[in-house]
Amino acid sequence: MEDTEALNHIEELPSDRVADLVEYLVVNIVDDPAGVTLEVVDDEQSSTIEITVSDTDTAKVIGRHGRTIQAIRTLARALAARLGISVDIEVLG
């Protein structure tokens, strides 16, 4: 059991911690939390977190004039900066 726990801590990337924050925020905004999926795409320079939500929730995640997604991006980038990485957030719909 201890070996499994040690492997889980080793495999977690800093971008996964940012994705956890983004997922928490998005799930609490939408009407259909089960329809939320996140995919983290890591490359050498940065990571991209792709958010997929149901069609009816896309507007809620983006917000009026993009304010909601901009706030999510600001929080994600602040955490990423503390972790020493760079992230970008994309809403796929």
Q: What is the pLDDT of residues 52-72, one digit of tens each?
A: 999 999 999 999 999 999 999
**Phi/psi of residue 63, each to 5°?**
80, 170
Q: What is the DSSP string of 4-57?
A: HHHHHHHH--HHHHHHHHHHHHHHTTSS-GGG-EEEEEE-SS-EEEEEE--GGG
DSSP letter (8 states) at residue 84? T
**Predicted pLDDT at 5:** 57
Q: Torsion angle of alpha carbons 60, 41, 17, 26, nearest 10°?
A: 10
**Ranges of the chain whose pLDDT falls below 50:** 1
pTM of this prediction exceeds 0.95 = no
Look at residue 3 and tell me if it is in a domain. Answer: no
Task: Supply the CATH number for residue 57's domain.
Answer: 3.30.300.20
Print the domain residue range for 44: 14-91
Domain count, the chain: 1
Query: Does 64 fall in a domain?
Result: yes
40 found inside a domain: yes
Asked whether residue 6 is domain-assigned, the answer is: no
- Flag whether 65 is in a domain: yes
70-80 per-residue burial string, b: 16 or more CB within 10 A, e: under 16: eebbeebbebb
